[in-house]
């Protein structure tokens, strides 16, 4: 974390597709966010268990190992007020009721990377 981003929200981005992970992370960094990248669900869980701020988790749903729902469940068990944006290319994926009740949002792929920072800002601006 640089002095310029010390007071900016921290976002953990999880996706097993390296190119998508890189583009999402860079888009958010360019918008001024601190971004931690996780190419696996295990790494994401490890990051979520570390001390320090995490203002938003952005995770793909379909991944090898733990899926996005499982990552969210584990993340919320250690960070109950964790804000979450799930990404999916499958329109038929229903959001589990417990996650909808917790305010988890879903972004369907493909999405416009130019609007991603606005979607993130909208989620972060909601009262928690």
Domain ranges for the chain, please list them. Answer: 7-122
Q: What is the pLDDT of residues 93-121, one digit of tens each?
A: 678 899 999 999 999 888 889 999 999 99
Q: What is the pLDDT of residues 20-70, one digit of tens each?
A: 999 999 999 999 999 999 999 999 999 999 999 999 999 999 999 999 999
Is residue 3 scored above 60 in pLDDT?
Answer: no
**CATH architecture under which domain 7-122 falls:** 3-Layer(aba) Sandwich (3.40)
pLDDT at 93: 67
Which of 24, 18, 26 is CA-nearest to residue 43? 18
Can you read off the two tokens belonging to residue 82?
């964790």
Write out the DSSP string of 31-82: TT-EEEEESSHHHHHHHHHSSS---EEEEESS-SSS-HHHHHHHHHHH-TT-
pTM of the model as a whole = 0.92
Half-sphere exposure of 46 (CA within 13 A, CB side): 8
pLDDT at 90: 78
């Amino acid at each position: 974390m640089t002095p310029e981003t010390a007071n900016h929200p921290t976002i953990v981005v999880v996706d097993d597709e390296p190119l998508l992970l890189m583009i999402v992370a860079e888009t958010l960094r360019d918008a001024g966010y601190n971004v931690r990248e996780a190419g696996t669900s295990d790494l994401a869980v490890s990051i979520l268990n570390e001390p320090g701020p995490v203002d938003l988790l952005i995770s793909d749903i379909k991944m090898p190992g733990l899926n996005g729902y499982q990552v969210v469940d584990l993340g919320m068990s250690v960070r109950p007020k964790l804000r979450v944006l799930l990404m999916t290319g499958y329109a038929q994926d229903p959001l589990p009721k417990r996650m909808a009740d917790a305010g988890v949002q879903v972004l369907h792929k493909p999405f416009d990377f130019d609007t991603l920072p606005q979607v993130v800002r909208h989620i972060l601006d909601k009262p928690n």
